[in-house]
Amino acid sequence: MILPLSHVAPVIRSKNAGPFHLTFDILFSDRAVFRHVLGTGQISRERFARTYRLNECDVRWTIYEPALGVKATIRRLAASGDPGDDDVYGCQQHAPLLGWDIDVPSALIPGR
Amino acid sequence: MSPTTLLSPTGILGYGFPERSFAAGLAAGPDVIGCDGGSTDQGPADLGRGTLHVSADACRRDLELMITGSRRFDVPLLIGTAGGAGAEPHVEAMREIVVEIARQRRLHFSLATIRSDVPPTYLHERVDAGETGPLDGAGPLDHDTVDSCDRIVAVMGAEPYQECLRRGADVVIAGRSSDTAIFAAVPLLKGGAAGPSWHAGKILECGAAAAVPMSATDCMLAWVGPDGFDVEPCSPAQACTPISIAAHTMYENESPYLLVEPSGTLDTRNCSFTSVNSRRTRVTGSAFVPAPRYSVKLEAARLIGYRTFCIGVSHDPVLIAESDRYVDAVRTEVAARVAATWGEAAEYSLNVRQIGKNAGMGPLEPTDKATGHEIGLLISVIAPTQARADAILAMARTQALHGELPGREGLLSNLAFPFAPSDVPAGPVHVFALNHVVFPESPTELFPIHAERL
């Protein structure tokens, strides 16, 4: 079934990683769901770059299995607090990820 | 060797914490109480202005509990990045609060303060010696850049804290610091394993934020042993689970598993996170790779002008539909009026954010369409003086209020201002001016210690 990522991953957030970088975390709570979603390539550096209209080479992409998590880090377009910055803490840049369509077998989603 | 017990009362000094949780933490017999006082998260304003990130009153409340607990149980208390930005005015303000608490509570103890301000002369010398380096995306550090900074601090590691403790300090108020080093200092000093010491620090520096349900304003305990560390929140309403601790390892960092400190890198790639019981998690496999050279991160603020802003709300569907054109018209009119009043060379910048359209994400916003029934115009001017910023913002506000709209006639007033005066002088504007490291001769040379007996 198709679900938005926000229904599949309980933690989706962005934050400053220092004043010059933004870091995005997508964390799952279920190992089987995590493995399925990553294994089917539905969460990828390429999809992230496309969503934010960036070059893939500008996205630092790492998978951290102990946390069932994926992290994307990019350079900020403006440093935190610069006149052109819109989000000093860098914490409201993840919204486009919430609506990512994710195809998950119903069997993996409890209560569905 | 018995484990080293670490207690973290809260995520940021002044954010608060429950007294009952802190009492439970003290009852566990900690070897150190640590607290992070600040961050660069909130932007460069506190560093540039010398202002506190959290109020003195809130800091005093937290410090009083921490100091009395520290003295009752004779446990050293380490506060890092004091005052929010860790420069001289911040450290001095926190020191004064500590002195006042000692006097009021008739407590006698040894207080050490550690400064982290970098004299430009030192940095010029390091530039000439080739002992500086850029971080990701920055150019090499040059003399002009050093001179352009209004305030520079260096981020200290564990060594200055350890030196204070060797000299008998009971309470340490430190300037700009690695958050993790505040907590790693004591277990390392006691000969503890580096990986678990640094990793425990990473988890504890946010208070109990790594526990579930999340709370950065509650207390956390860690026990650092030779093979790993255990972590447990002090509140019975919270628990540390393997996932919650692994997830927090990733937080606020460029990499999920490589965390760079002055003396090396914490590598958590091979960590195992397991439950000891329903509320305690054990972490093993944390590794610390010493750096070939000790490197100290620099942070600096530079004043670029003064800001005045106003915010107004429009309910007009034509303005909302035509908002970009409306804003462009404001921009054009302001440029003409500024030139007519102060000449073509008058410096200023005008920024109009559209709340309800793309104010939060700016160029990253994928939707970029105002679909609501109202839109907010957040108009901000930066100019060389506050008076000039006030004056130019007034021009922008006038044009934004009375601008023409297609299909509408007569004298229009298009914005609902929530308060009078509508225009808010917002003070000096700073930017982060450095993204560099320096290679000092020793881990402590940038961090002078002043000890006093209270």
Is there a contact between A19 and B45 if contact means CB atoms under 8 Å apart? no
Among residues 51-80 of chain A, which lie with CB inside 8 Å of chain B?
A: 51-53, 60, 62-64, 66-69, 71, 73, 75, 77, 79-80
Which tokens go with A24? 């995005």
Q: Which is nearest to B159 in space by CA: B296, B2, B288, B36?
A: B296
Contacts of A73 in chain B (CB under 8 A): 254-255
Cβ distance A66 to B249 less than 8 Å, yes or no, reads: yes
Contacts of A18 in chain B (CB under 8 A): 40, 254
Determine contact: A38 vs chain B, CB below 8 A: no
Q: What does the pLDDT look like over A19-48, one tens digit per residue?
A: 999 999 999 999 999 999 999 999 999 999
Choose, out of A14, A53, A76, A80, the residue to mutate when testing the contact with B (most B CBs < 10 Å).
Answer: A80
pLDDT at A1: 94
Q: Do A77 and B430 touch (CB under 8 A)?
A: no
Calpha distance B143→B148 (Å, rounded): 9
For helices B19-27 and B56-72, angle between their N-to-C axes, nearest 10 degrees = 30
The confidence score (pLDDT) of residue B386 equals: 98
Q: What is the ipTM of this complex?
A: 0.92
Residue owning tokens 């008739």: B106
Distance, CA of B75 to CA of B113 (rounded, Å):
17
Question: Using CA atoms, how far apart are residues B263 and B196, in angstroms rounded to an integer?
Answer: 15
Determine the pLDDT at residue A112. 52
Residues of chain B found within 8 Å of residue A87, distances taken between Cβ atoms? 360-361
Distance of alpha carbon B232 from alpha carbon B241, whole angstroms: 9
- When CB atoms are compared, the residue of B45, B249, B382 closest to A83 is B382
Residue pairs spanning A and B at CB distance below 8 A:
126
Tell me which residue of A98, A67, A34 sits closest to B210, measured CA to CA: A67
pLDDT value at residue A111: 64
Tell me, what's the pLDDT at B362?
Answer: 92
Distance CA B379, CA B345 (A): 22
Q: Are B299 and B176 in contact (CB under 8 A)?
A: yes
- Bond before B213 cis per omega within 30 degrees: yes
- Find residues 80-99 of chain A whose CB sits inside 8 Å of chain B: 80-89, 92-93, 95-96
Rounded Cα gap, residues B346 and B336, in angstroms: 11
Residue of A nearest to B283 (CA): A66
Residues of B whose CB is below 8 A from A29? 243
Q: What is the pLDDT of residues A46-105, one digit of tens each?
A: 999 999 999 999 999 999 999 999 999 999 999 999 999 999 999 999 999 999 999 999
Q: Do A80 and B136 touch (CB under 8 A)?
A: no
Determine contact, residues B297/B437, Cβ cutoff 8 Å: yes
Q: Which residue among B43, B252, B273 places its CB closest to the CB of A81?
A: B43
Residue from B12, B240, B254 to probe the interface with A (highest A Cβ count within 10 Å): B254
Q: Name the minimum distance, in Å, from the CA of A78 to any CA of chain B.
A: 10
Shortest alpha-carbon distance between residue A88 and chain B (Å):
6
Helix ranges, B156-272 (H): 159-166, 179-189, 194-204, 242-249
Type of residue at A94? H
Q: What is the dihedral of CA B124, B116, B180, B52, to 10 degrees?
A: -120
Residues A51-68: b if buried by 16+ CB within 10 A, e if exposed: ebebeeeebbbbebebbb
Strands B375-383 and B349-355 come out as: antiparallel
CB contact under 8 A, A11 and B247: yes
**What does pTM read for this prediction?**
0.95
Q: What is the pLDDT along chain B (454 residues), one digit of tens a residue?
A: 789 999 999 999 999 999 999 999 999 999 999 999 998 999 999 999 999 999 999 999 999 999 999 999 999 999 999 999 999 999 999 999 999 999 999 999 999 999 999 999 999 999 999 999 999 889 999 999 999 999 999 999 999 999 999 999 999 999 999 999 999 999 999 999 999 999 999 999 999 999 999 999 999 999 999 999 999 999 999 999 999 999 999 888 888 899 999 999 999 999 999 999 999 999 999 999 999 999 999 999 999 999 999 999 999 999 999 999 999 999 999 999 999 999 999 999 999 999 999 999 998 898 878 889 999 999 999 999 999 999 999 999 999 999 999 998 989 999 999 999 999 999 999 999 999 999 999 999 999 999 999 9
